[in-house]
Amino acid sequence: MKRFEGKLAVISGGASGMGAATAKGFTSEGGSVISIDIDEEGGKRVADEIGESCEFFKVDVTKEEDWNALESHLGERFHQITSVVNAAGISEPATIEDETVEHWDRVHAINGTSVFLGCRFAVKAMKKNGGSIVNFSSSLATSPQPFVLSYNYSKAGVLVVTRTVALHCAEMGYDIRCNAVQPGAINTPMMQRYLEAAEDPKQQLADFSASHPMNRVGEPEEVVSSVLFLCSDESSFTTGDSISVDGGVIAE
């Protein structure tokens, strides 16, 4: 029996990157996925690639009313959810000297507020039957870099939300685990945008690689394996924790 037969996951950021990779991994092991994203074209394309086990629903994850619309859309399936993976996020450069309030708020809304709303949605859905929440943080939450101030802040906040939700669920007696993953630089469209913007993309890739003790960037599947572990019953005694998938950055 595959790990996720009879299981239903809601995955944000499902139109590309880690969200899409997680949806493919979850369905490949027998599960069903509701993929959500603001990018309707990309989200439908990924869902079509996966097939009937993946349904796309357009959601702006920063808006409470969109999460409420998703709940209404799911109907009886809402309480059949077994995992919620909050993978939506953005990374754009800005130091303390060139950061703006508008950009700061935008990054925090997508990387932070969406996780709060996703966790609240998940607890409401799963508090009767149990399940797992997995939030995407980053190695930069604990090992920040100066060129992404708002990103560092937002991802550090994800860790605090994760631990707080885990403690709340334990205190309330809900069989809900809440954990995070902390990826390093991963070969996704997000990283590709940094490379495309660089004067010397090859040198930029070399710099990204050198910032990890293993001297390379990661691949999406290397992160997905940890996400699926946290979604599965194999992690039944793990909550309020984070798994670093960062080529050794956490050890420095």
Which residue numbers are catalytic? 151
Q: Cα(first)–Cα(last) distance of the chain, in Å? A: 40
Which has the closest alpha carbon to 110: 153, 163, 46, 56? 153
User: How do 8-12 and 32-37 pair as beta strands?
Assistant: parallel
- Residue 20: how many CA atoms within 13 Å on its side-chain side? 19
| Chain mean position to CA 13 | 7
For residue 175, the 8-state DSSP code is -
How far is Cα 119 from Cα 116, in angstroms, rounded to an integer?
5
202: β partners: none
Longest CA–CA span in the chain (Å) reads 54
Q: For residue 145, give every residue at least 6 positions away whose Cβ sits within 8 Å of its Cβ, in sequence order, or none.
A: 152, 211
